[in-house]
Chain A
Amino acid sequence: MKKILTFIIALAALPVAAQAQTWNPSAAELQAMQAKADPERGEALFTACVGCHKKDATGRSSGAYPRLAGQHFTVLLKQMKDIKAGLRTNPKMAPYIEDHISDVGEMADVAVWLTALPIPEDRIGRGPGTSVDAGKVLFERDCAQCHGQKGEGDAARFYPMVAAQHYRYLLREMHFIRDGDRGNSNPDMVKVIKPYREADLEALADYMSSLPPPAPAK
């Protein structure tokens, strides 16, 4: 009986999970959301986030908090949505976003504010610089197809800009993705990164963090 009950509960939960995972707005819908979003409201909401991400949204070189400034609108939106929904495992951020940001509209406001913030040229958080060349080879072979030759990402496909991101943050997330701890990883990326060893991940992070900030995200 207990087993049947569990099964029924699991079945009932399925459509919700499926729906959340298949959130797939069209490019036009995303553009409309971005156009409608209110950066001033986003700035106001973001004031509660600066204890971690910093006022200029450049994050921390410790890797605990990523740089959000200049990231693609679509990427910011999707990640906020996934963290709030529990699809992306982020126990540090989840309780803060849970009550503070009430819906996708507010997420869009925050995202539209952040995407327009400048990425500082003389930024903190680069890697040691010792395996940039090795990282470049790997990046161009395995990553550039999705994340772009310059690490600029792809807004339409929710692929983040990885150029000029903090070394330690990149390293942490690659570990999470490879080891299945991130929750909302792209399955294709999991396959690509699976055979990567520690030195490979470090080289990749070294390279990506050394890339100059691409032109402002659209």
Chain B
Amino acid sequence: MKSLAYQPQSGVVRALAAAGVSLLLGLGLAGAAQANETAKTVCAGCHGPQGDAPIAPTFPNLAGLQKEYIVKQLNDFISGKRKNDMMAPIVADLKPEDIGPIAEYFSQQKPTSGKAENRMAASAGKVLYNQGNDESGVPACVGCHQEKGGGYIGPTAIYPRIAGQQVEYVKQQLKDFASGARANDPSRFMRTTAKRMTEEEIEEVAQYLVGVGE
């Protein structure tokens, strides 16, 4: 198995991690403040100061996303595992030590949701989300992304929060997974799944998710 990396580690590892955090807190206060500054200036320029006011419909809402998920995505943008022409030059200037604190900052912002423009589609999306499509083999999204789309840190993968996410962003990601333009999903699960979804289903599930809140 490739990654059980997110499984709770042994006591020793946890203690070491805690020590690392303390060290970071002790020595890196200036660094953390700098990272917060980066989040509020550089990232905020497109995602909004709290990450919940993206300036374009295809930019994601970051507020309340799991820290681990943001860290992974930033690292994937840097390594090129996740390709994005807009993010690439920005993450190139990121200091590695800032990634954690930036992710922490956005993960702690209050999650927000929007309103579905198409309520018919949203209710069809809710059914798909909870039951999948047995005919075409689309698994139920709820299996991994959980009830209410909150996601969780699974033992073999990080399942991001998708509740309240922007409609156009969700649609774009699903299309990119389907075409393979986005390929940083563990074990190709999202690529396989998105490929089986019709354009209509993608619209429906996106319309459903935007309105899901706490």
Interface residues of A in 75-110 (CB under 8 A from B): 91-93, 95-96, 98-102, 106
Evaluate contact between A100 and B140: CB separation under 8 angstroms. no
Q: Is B87 in contact with chain A by the CB < 8 A criterion?
A: no
CB of B141 within 8 A of CB of A51, answer: yes
Main secondary structure of the interface of B (DSSP, over half): loop
Q: Count contacts on B: residues with CB < 8 A to the other chain.
A: 23
- Judged by DSSP, the binding face of A is helix
Whole-angstrom distance between the Cβ of B40 and the nearest chain A Cβ: 36
Q: In the complex the two chains form, what is the Cα distance from A93 to B193 in whole Å? A: 11
Total residue contacts A-B, CB cutoff 8 A: 66
Bound-state CA distance A179–B147 (Å) is 40
Q: Report chain B residues within 8 Å CB of A64.
A: 134-135, 137
Q: Which residues on B sit within 8 Å (CB–CB) of A92? A: 137
Segment touching B, from A10-18, A41-49, A111-119, A180-188: A41-49
Instruction: Name which residue of chain A comes closest to B196, CB basis.
Output: A92
B192 proximity list for chain A (CB < 8 A):
95-96
Chain A's nearest CB lies how many Å from the CB of B133?
9
In the complex, what residues of B have CB within 8 A of residue A31's CB? none
B139: which A residues are within 8 A, CB to CB? 51-52, 96
User: Are A47 and B156 in contact (CB-based, < 8 A)?
Assistant: yes
Answer yes or no: B15 CB below 8 A from chain A CBs: no
Decide if A48 touches B189 in the complex (CB within 8 Å): yes
* CA of A91 to CA of B136, assembled, Å: 10
> Once the chains are docked, how many angstroms separate the CA of A102 from the CA of B132?
25
Stretch of B1-9, B27-35, B41-49 on the interface side = B1-9
Q: Given A95-B188, A96-B189, answer yes or no on A48-B1 (Cβ-Cβ < 8 Å).
A: no
* One of B134, B137, B187 near A100 (C-beta < 8 A): B187
Contacts of B141 in A (CB 8 A): 51
Most interface-central of A41, A47, A65, A101 (chain B CB within 10 A): A47
Closest 10 interchain pairs by CB? A51-B143, A51-B139, A64-B134, A44-B155, A92-B137, A99-B187, A100-B187, A50-B143, A95-B192, A62-B134
